[in-house]
Structure 1
Amino acid sequence: MTARRALVLPAPLLLALGGCERWPAALDPHSPEASSIASLIGGFVALLGAIWLAVVVASLLAIRRGRADAASAEPQSYDAAAERRRTAWVSVLTVATAVVVLVLTGFSYATQRVLFGPRQEGLTILATGHQWWWELRYEDADPSRIVETANEIHVPVDVPVTLKLESSDVIHSLWIPSLMGKIDLIPGRQNYLRFKAAAPGVYRGQCAEFCGVQHAHMGLLVVAEPVEDFERWRDAQRRTAVEPSDPERQAGHDAFLKRPCVMCHAIRGAGAGGRSGPDLTHVGGRRTIGAGTLPATRGALAAWIVDPHGVKPGVDMPMVKLDPDELNSISAYLESLK
């Protein structure tokens, strides 16, 4: 018995296949909007694929017939009936092309009505794109219910959600394939996206417009959950940061306020009011840090703090020299902010 040889793939192919994971996927819809887009894609592919196949078959038949005619017909022969048939076929195909264009336009229009038609009032979130992270503000007529967070959107299932999209610097584009299509965030202008999550789950989003060297590391997560769970999350987000529960975290709290961290980041209830970076009031409760770059663990927080440019080159966060005790205590404090 001979041993099987292992299949070894070239490195470029492995990198390409690495992007073929199921999550995220435009053809795995979990909202009415994403389902409409998936149907539009399927319809276009089916119709245009059939046309492509018909053109290939017709071309092969024409080549075969042309060779046969070249071998048998007189060089100066002219078949008037054959020319009339060809003219009729060209006319029929011209009309068919116009019909196909009209059908595809109508299909696209029907999808646009689903995506941008009138909606019931629901949850409204202001999403602002920065290089390279997402600022999120849950709007409400009651100021006490306004919530600010970053890089992670929580939404209730079966509730209409409106995203107001703005940019603070360059053109970005928000795309959450399983929930909605994409649209640009343009400085000085506000655009809108609407969706309604059909099932609980965690869905990946991404900036889809090249916005700088870390464009690929400008992701976010959408967490869809039952209404009761969402309300509990929202109530928790409205609270100020928890008080440090042990000496190490207390030391981290004190070091955070003494270091330049406090100039850029806000921690409500802790005396930190910076506005140029993400709000860290509940950073330990998020799934990732750095806009989806690293998991929100104590070790990842320490790695990010000690060398943000090593993780995400070009970010605005400066390198701050900390001694090992300060680094450990700050990362422990931030990890505790659930």
Structure 2
Amino acid sequence: MFDALWGWPPPVLDPAGPYADKVTVLAWVLLALGVIVTAIVCAALWVAIKGPARWKQRLGGESAVWIGGIAFPGVVLTALLFWGLTLTADLTDDITGTEPRIRVTGEMWWFRVQYLDPAGRVVMEDANEIHLPVGQPVVLELRSADVIHNFWVPHLSGKKDMLPGRTNLLRIQADKAGQFGGVCAEYCGGPHALMGFVAIAHQPADYARWQQGRMGRLAQVNATGGPGRQLFMESGCGACHRVAGTEANGLAGPDLTHVGTRATLGAGILPNHRGTLIGWIGDSQGIKPGNRMPSYDTLSAAELTAIAGWLEQQQ
């Protein structure tokens, strides 16, 4: 599922927003300079091996070492540093309190997502999925609950570390609707390679409807239950997961209040439908070895189907 969101060309070279566009410009300039420097080095190597004696003498002279080995790289790298910092400064500079904010916390090995009101209070919670309005910058508050993670949506912005005990800010913006893959770009142990998420950009009117619908359903979810709900509670799932409107109020794992609406499962690695829900509940360790959810392989197929069916209804 996650691989399908990357496609071709590589997302770092296919920006879908103004902040990613600046990172792409920087990437192309670095690539071009790398090609030029490689060509110069190859030419110097050819002179050193095959060139005329007079050229070899000049290449090995003191002035060539000072110019080619010290002055040239020093000037080029310094210029690139200042230009790159200036180019990408608006990813984090001059952030105001008026921009919409989403708090994203990296955990082993998934992303907790919390939507904040202007006062900084959490009004909605999700996991491994970020919803954005098209054409509007959104500020992300990036945190970590355990080790160092790194937040990166190549189509939409640059990378930013998620550090324990610290909040880093990052602007993100999509200029077109769609789904964009994101990853943890800092090795964090265990199934790090299977720690992803999805950023979903909506047209402003669609985003407003999505937001209003989410808030409106919070008071209505789980009015009915059935055997799936009962099995979910009896199996101990509520000790780690929260489902609004039920006694399940765990905080260790992802909030499952709206899990039925998510595009993926397992932090971006599976498409979300009843079949993958059954597989994930029954054998999460086989799908994502080392993750913190145990495999419920003692449940029968009928019990797994009932739980998955109930979770699928959490819209």
Q: For this structure pair, what is the TM-score category when the shorter chain's length is used for normalisation?
A: 0.7 to 0.9
Alignment partners' CA distance in 2, 1:209 and 1:167: 12
The Cα of 1:268 is off from its aligned counterpart by: 0.5
**What residue is the counterpart of 2:233 in the other structure?**
257
Q: What are the superposed Cα offsets for residues 162-211 of structure 1, whole Å, 9 maximum, x if unpaired?
A: 11111111111111111111121111111111122111111100011111
**Whole-angstrom CA distance in 1 between matches of 2:312 and 2:67:** 69
Q: Identify the residue that residue 253 of structure 2 maps to in structure 1.
A: 277
- The superposition leaves residues 245-284 of structure 1 with CA deviations (integer Å, 9 ceiling, x where unpaired) of 7xxx622122212220111111101332111111111101
Residues 138 and 24 of structure 1: is their aligned pair in 2 closer, same or farther, counting only changes over 3 Å?
farther
Residue 242 of structure 1 aligns with which residue? Answer: 221
Q: Report the more deviating stretch, 225-234 or 92-101.
A: 92-101
Is the contact made by 2:222 and 2:244 (CA closer than 8 Å) also made in structure 1? no
Question: How far apart in 1 are the matches of 2:155 and 2:258?
Answer: 26
- Offset at residue 224 of structure 1 (A): 0.7
In structure 2, the partner of 1:310 is: 286
Residue 24 of structure 1 contacts residue 204 of structure 1 at CA under 8 Å; is this kept in 2?
A: no
Structure 1 residues 142, 98: closer, same or farther in 2, change over 3 A?
Answer: closer
What's the TM-score, normalizing by structure 2?
0.88
Measure how far apart 1:24 and its partner are: 5.6
Residue identity in the other structure for 1:254? Q
Change (3 A) 1:207 1:222: same
Q: Which residue of 1 aligns with 2:157?
A: 180
Contact 2:128 / 2:198 at 8 angstroms: preserved in 1?
yes
Q: Which residue number corresponds to residue 319 of structure 1?
A: 295
CA contact under 8 A between 2:223 and 2:245: conserved in structure 1? Answer: no
* Helix, strand or coil at the partner of 2:150: strand
Shift of 1:308: 1.4
Q: Distance between the aligned counterparts of 1:208 and 1:127, measured in 2?
A: 14
* Residues 129 and 135 in structure 1, CA contact (< 8 A), matched pair in contact too: yes
Contact 2:106 2:112 in 1 (8 A): yes
Deviations, residues 190-244 of structure 1 (Å, cap 9, x unaligned): 1111122111111100011111221011100000111111122222222225346
Contact 1:244–1:250, Cα closer than 8 Å, also in 2: no
Correspondence for 1:12: none
The structure 1 residue matched to 2:35, chosen from 41, 46, 49, is 49
1:168–1:31 Cα change, 3 Å? same
User: Deviations along 1:87-139, whole A, 9 cap, x unmatched?
Assistant: 55555545444432333123212223232222453210111111111101000
Q: Does 1:267 align with 2:253?
A: no
The aligned runs of 1:70-89 (5 Å cut-off) are none
Cα distance change on mapping 1:226 and 1:210 into 2, 3 Å: same
- Confirm or deny: 8 A CA contact 1:160 1:196 kept in the other structure: yes
Structure 2 counterpart of 1:129, which letter? G
Query: Percent of aligned pairs with the same residue?
Result: 37
CA distance, structure 2, for counterparts of residue 19 and residue 136 of structure 1: 19
Name the CA distance, whole Å, in 1 between partners of 2:55 and 2:212.
80
Count of matched residue positions in the alignment of Structure 1 and Structure 2: 308
1:227 equivalent in structure 2 = 204
Who is 1:148 aligned against? 125
1:25 paired with 2:1, answer no
Which residue of the partner structure matches residue 167 of structure 2? 190
Amino acid at match of 1:31: G
1:36 aligns with 2:22: yes
CA distance in 2, matches of 1:289, 1:260: 19
Alignment-mate amino acid for residue 109 of structure 2: W
